[in-house]
Structure 1
C-alpha cells in the first residue's frame, strides 16, 4: 500500500513538472507599429505622468466639487465598477482551472437482495448497510497551454475593463465641466436677455408716450412693440435652456430624483471671469498619446484576442486528465476509519477530437477574425487620438482670438446703438436704423457667451485628447484672457442695454 502511494505521488510530481513546462500555441504578440511624428513642435520633453486632475486648472471650487460629486455618484461609473468586479471574477475562474479540483464526499446506504437472484446464498445477509467517505481529485493537464492562454485572455480583458473605467472617468469629468460651462454661458445669455428686455420696455414706454402725443408714427411704435416681444421670447427661451441644462447636469452628477426635480446647481465664477489655462505646450512627444486610456484599453483587447487564438488551437490536440480518490468503505460505521476499510484508485484518460464537422476549425477562424477586428479598432483609436489632438490644439489656439473678436464687435455695436438712438431722437435717421443696431448688438452679446463657452470647452478637449492633460507641477493656470475691465467700461458707456459682467450670475426674472 505504501509503495503504491509512493508511486502515485512520484507520477503526479512528474506530470506536474511536465504540465508547467508545457508549450503555448498562442502566436507571439507583437505590438503594432505606427508611422508617428516624433513630436508636435520642436522641443522634446521627458515622458511624465498625465495630469489627472486637469479640471483644477480653472481655479473654480464649485467646478471641483461638481466633478468630485460626478466621479463619486455617476451611475455609468457605478456600472463600470461592477463590470470590473465581473471581469476579475472571470479571471479568477480561469486561474482556478490551472489547478486540480478536489472534492470530498460521504454517504450511507442500505439495500436488500432478492432471494431469487442467481448465486444467492442463505449464508449471506439479505439486507445490509454500507458507509463510505472519500476525497477525489481530477486534473486536466495543460500540455498545450489552453487554460493558461484562457487565463491570459481573461486577465487582459480585466485590464481592458480597468482602463476603460479610467477612460470613462475622464469622459464623465469632461462632460461635467462642459455641462457646467454651458450652464454658465446660458446664465450670461439669460442675464443679457433680461437686461435687453428691461431696456426695450423702458424705451417702449417712452415711444408710447411720444406716439400718443403724435411725435412718432404708428409704424415706429409697432416696431418698438415687436422688439419688446422678441426680447421677451428670448428671455423665456433662455429660462427653458437653463432649466434643461441644470436637469441634465443633475443626472450626470448622479443625484436623486427629488434633487433632480427640486434642486439647483450651485454656481461659482461667471463665465467671463473663468481663467483659460495655457495653450498646449510645445514639443509634447507623440508617445504621450499612447498612454491615453482608450488607446491602452484597445491594445489590451488585441492581446486578449491573441491569447484566445492559443485557446482555439489547443482544441485540436489531445486532452489528458488524471483522477484519483482516497477513502473508506465499511458495512459498520464503527469500522469506517480502520486500516482494513481504506480504498483508493487513480487513473489517467486521454481524448482527442476525431470528427467534429469543423467546429474547432471554425472556432479558430473566429478567434483569428476577432483579433483582426481588434487590431483595426486599435489602429483607428490611435489615429483618432492624433486627430483629436490636432483639432483640439487648433481650437484652443484660435478660441481666444474668436473671443476677442466678439468682444470688439460687442463694444462697437454698443456704440452704434448709442449713435443710432441719438440720430433718431434728433430726426437724422428712421427707427429701422435703431432696430437693426439693437438686433445686431443682442445677437453679438449672445454669441459672445457662446464663444466664452467654446473657449473653455477647447481647453477640456485638449485635456481629453491627451488622456488627462499635461503635467506641469508648480505652474498655475494662466491669467484671465477676457478683458473684464473693457467689458465694464463698455457697460458704463452703453447704458442699460449692456449685459452683466459681475462675477455672480444675475438673478432670474420674477416671471420664472
Structure 2
C-alpha cells in the first residue's frame, strides 16, 4: 500500500505542475522599426493584386511550363521536402516523451540442478523454465522540459516549411532569369547576323567602287574588318546561350541539354506589362520566406532555453514491472507465479561542476545568434527590394533613351548609305553610322533583358513564388523488402 500511496502522490504532484514551465516564453515575432514606405515610392498606398504566380505577367507560355516542371523535379526543392519530412518526424519523436514506455520480454531456459554431498550426489531431472515480464517507465514532465522540446521541434518544422517556400522562390526566379537571358542572347545573335549581312553588302558596294576606280583599298579593308568583327560576336553569344540553356536543364532536374529542343526556336525577350504590388516594408515579415524562417528559428532557439533549464530541476519517474515464471506455459497466467513492483523514483542533480548551467548559457547565446540572424535577414530583404525598385525604374528610363538613340542611328545609317552610293558622303560616315546603329540596337536588347531580370529580382525580393500546396509526404526513395530477410553480399 505504501508504494501505491507514493504513486498517487507523484500523480497528484504531476497534475498540479502540469502547467509548470521554466525558461523564457516566446513573446511572438519581433517588431522592429521599419520604414512606412519604400524610398523610391512617393506614397505608401498599397497596390491592388497579389504576387501569386507573378511570372504569368511575363506572358510566355513556355516559361510557365518550365517553371512547373522545375517545381516538380528540382533537386534543391526535393531536398527541402525531405527536410520537412525529417522535421515532422522529429516532432513525433519528441512528443513521444510525454507518454509511458512499455517493453516486454519472454524467455525459456533448460535447467538442471544437483543436490546432496560429494558421496551421495543426486541429480534432478532437467526441466524447462518459462518466464515473461512487462516493464514500464514514465517520466513526469513536471517542469515542462519535454513540452519545451516539443515547442522547439514544432517551430523547427515551421522553419523547414518556410525554407521549402524559400527554395521555390529562388528556383522560380532563377528559371525565369536564365530563360530571359537565353532569349536575350538569341536576339543578340539574330541582330549580329542581320547586321553582318548588311555590312557585307556595304563591303560589296565598296569593292565595286574600288574595282571601278572610285574607291580605295583602305575603305575596302575597313568594310571587311567591320563585318568580320560583327560576325565574331556570334560564337560568343552562342556559347553564352548554350550555358543558359544547360543551366535551365539542370534547374529542371534533367540533363543539361534536356530543354535545348524547346529553346531552339527563337522568341522575344519577355516584357512585363503589369506592375508588381510592392506593398509595405512591414509585409516582408510574412511574405519573405527567409525572414519568416529566421523568425521561426528564433522561436525555436527560445524554446530550447526552457528545455535546458528544465534539466537543472529534479526529475520524477514512475516505474513498474510485472513478471511471471512457470514450468509450463499454461501456468504463466496463474497468480501464484506472478510478481510485480511499482513505485516512483526521483533524480535530483546535486553537483555537476556547472555543466547544466553552462548548457543553459549556450542555449541563451544561440538564441541571441538567432535574433541577430533574423535582424540581418530582414535588413537584407529591405535592401533587396530597394535595389530592385531603383534598378527597374532606372532601366526603364534607360530603355526609352536607347530606343530613341536606335531610331535615330537607324535613320542616320540609311541616309549615310544613300549618300555614299551617290558619292555625296565619305565611307567613314557609313562605317560610323552602321557601327553606332549596331551598338545602340545591341544595347537596347540588353536593356530589355536587364529590365525583365530586374522585374524578376523585385518579385523574388518581395517573396513572390509558388502558392499551390506542395506535397512533401512522398519520399524520394521507396525502400522494398525491409522486413527480415537474408542479407545480400556487400556491393
Could you say which TM-score interval applies, normalised by the shorter chain? 0.7 to 0.9
Q: CA 1:49 to 1:355, structure 2 compared with 1: closer, same or farther past 3 Å?
A: farther
Q: Deviations over 1:118-137 (max 9, x none)?
A: 9xx98994754321222221
Q: Is the CA contact (8 Å cut-off) linking 1:320 and 1:349 kept in structure 2?
A: yes
Q: Is the CA contact (8 Å cut-off) linking 1:276 and 1:456 kept in structure 2?
A: no
Query: Which one of 273, 276, 284 corresponds to residue 276 of structure 1?
Result: 273
Q: Deviations over 1:18-40 (max 9, x none)?
A: 45233232444353231123344
Query: 3-state DSSP class of the match of 2:98?
Result: coil
Query: Which one of 440, 444, 447 corresponds to residue 440 of structure 2?
Result: 444
Query: 3-state DSSP class of the match of 2:232?
Result: helix
Which residue does the alignment assign to 1:38? 36
The 2-side partners of 1:10 and 1:193 are apart by 89
Query: Which one of 290, 294, 297 corresponds to residue 294 of structure 1?
Result: 290
Query: Which one of 323, 328, 335 corresponds to residue 327 of structure 1?
Result: 323
Deviating above 6 A after TM superposition, structure 1's stretches of 4 or more consecutive aligned residues are 3-6, 121-124
What's the offset of the Cα at 1:463?
A: 1.7
Pick which of 444-453 and 107-116 moved more: 107-116
What's the offset of the Cα at 1:157?
A: 0.8
What is the correspondence of 1:421-436 to structure 2 with a 5 Å cutoff? 421-436=417-432
Q: Which runs of 5+ in 2 are unaligned?
A: 468-491
1:251 equivalent to 2:250? Answer yes
Query: 3-state DSSP class of the match of 1:55?
Result: helix
Q: CA 1:328 to 1:274, structure 2 compared with 1: closer, same or farther past 3 Å?
A: same
What's the offset of the Cα at 1:441?
A: 1.5
What is the correspondence of 1:73-112 to structure 2 with a 5 Å cutoff? 73-112=73-112
Q: Deviations over 1:202-221 (max 9, x none)?
A: 22223223323332211111
Q: Which runs of 5+ in 1 are unaligned?
A: 472-512
The 2-side partners of 1:258 and 1:231 are apart by 28
Q: Deviations over 1:221-269 (max 9, x none)?
A: 1111111211111112121121111111111122246626x64437685
The 2-side partners of 1:286 and 1:438 are apart by 47
The 1-side partners of 2:360 and 2:96 are apart by 24
The 2-side partners of 1:197 and 1:55 are apart by 35
Which residue does the alignment assign to 2:193? 194
What's the offset of the Cα at 1:148?
A: 1.1
The 1-side partners of 2:4 and 2:359 are apart by 42
Q: CA RMSD in A?
A: 2.9
What's the offset of the Cα at 1:114?
A: 5.7
Query: Which one of 360, 364, 367 corresponds to residue 364 of structure 1?
Result: 360
The 2-side partners of 1:156 and 1:179 are apart by 34
Give the alignment's TM-score, normalised by structure 2. Answer: 0.86
Query: 3-state DSSP class of the match of 2:34?
Result: coil
What's the offset of the Cα at 1:308?
A: 0.7
What is the correspondence of 1:118-129 to structure 2 with a 5 Å cutoff? 125=124, 127-129=126-128
Which residue does the alignment assign to 1:139? 138
Query: 3-state DSSP class of the match of 1:137?
Result: strand
Which residue does the alignment assign to 1:354? 350
Which residue does the alignment assign to 1:223? 222
Which residue does the alignment assign to 2:390? 394
Pick which of 382-391 and 346-355 moved more: 346-355
Q: CA 1:430 to 1:42, structure 2 compared with 1: closer, same or farther past 3 Å?
A: closer
Pick which of 60-69 and 204-213 moved more: 204-213
Query: 3-state DSSP class of the match of 2:312?
Result: coil
Q: Is the CA contact (8 Å cut-off) linking 2:46 and 2:277 kept in structure 1?
A: no
Query: 3-state DSSP class of the match of 1:106?
Result: strand
Which residue does the alignment assign to 2:171? 172
Q: Is the CA contact (8 Å cut-off) linking 1:29 and 1:306 kept in structure 2?
A: no
